Structure 1
Amino acid sequence: MGDKITIYQKPTCSKCREALAILKESGNEFESINYYETRLTADMLREIVRKLGIPTRSLLRSDELLAKGLESADDEALLQLMAENPDLIQRPIVIRGDRAIVGRPPERIKTLLKG
């Protein structure tokens, strides 16, 4: 499986650091993107949700204070809010080709590393 691997992460997140360690140990080349510095757009998030195969709301970190009161928000509003407020996005996200996974727990990433 030669698809490019990309991890979207926050450097101060312990799960993201664990995921990066797993990727480094795998020997696979990958690109690491701090999505606080390189912001994800609503379109990029829409594509990530598609690759994850989950409802948009499942990408939302619902325990964040900013997420309170968003129960009735539609997918487009959620995507825009996540693009504007990266703290609302589940992390880390690892993409390989047309597949993606939220690395919680980080060991889940290993499923993308298998051929």
Structure 2
Amino acid sequence: MIKIYHNPRCRKSREGLDLLEKSGKEFEVIKYLEDVPTKEELRQILSCLSISPENLVRKNEAIWKEKFRGKLLSDEEILEAMIQYPKLIERPIVVKGNKAVVGRPPERIQEVL
């Protein structure tokens, strides 16, 4: 099953969702600001993306700049920050099996379809 971690207020995320809808494939929408991923779910996503937690963080978010920028954080601390402040999680993320992409630009979603 394809999953999209989606923020309806984000234009890129809406574009990614539109792409999935047009694909005709079944998928599940996870509004991750409401249904915050667990640390284990984030680890799984990171594994599928083959990136470190820091590379999944939206560093231009005010909360990152105010609370975390310039600090030396462990992967665990970054995971905790993303759980506490899910706005920090890059979006949209599309996962299919053991493959995933961050849909920026949204056309990257084609890589997992």
TM-score range, shorter chain: over 0.9
Partner of 1:73: 73
Rounded Cα–Cα distance in structure 2 between residues aligned with 1:65 and 1:36:
16
Partner of 2:33: 36
Rounded Cα–Cα distance in structure 2 between residues aligned with 1:101 and 1:107:
10
1:99 matched to 2:99? The reply is yes
Give the superposition deviation at 1:61.
0.5
Rounded Cα–Cα distance in structure 1 between residues aligned with 2:59 and 2:72:
13
TM norm structure 2:
0.93
Give the superposition deviation at 1:37.
1.4
Q: Which of residues 54, 59, 66 in structure 1 aligns to 2:56? A: 59
Structure 1 runs (4+) deviating above 2 angstroms are 68-71
1:12 matched to 2:4? The reply is no
Overall identity of the aligned pairs, in %: 45
Deviates more, 1:60-69 or 1:84-93: 60-69
Rounded Cα–Cα distance in structure 2 between residues aligned with 1:108 and 1:29:
18
Partner of 2:112: 112
Q: Which of residues 21, 25, 36 in structure 1 aligns to 2:22? A: 25
Aligned alpha-carbon RMSD (Å): 0.9
Query: Unmatched 5+ residue regions in structure 2?
Result: none
Give the superposition deviation at 1:51.
0.6
Opposite residue 81 of structure 2, the aligned amino acid is L
Partner of 1:84: 84
Across the two proteins, how many residue pairs are aligned to each other? 110
Give the superposition deviation at 1:32.
0.5
Query: Unmatched 5+ residue regions in structure 1?
Result: none
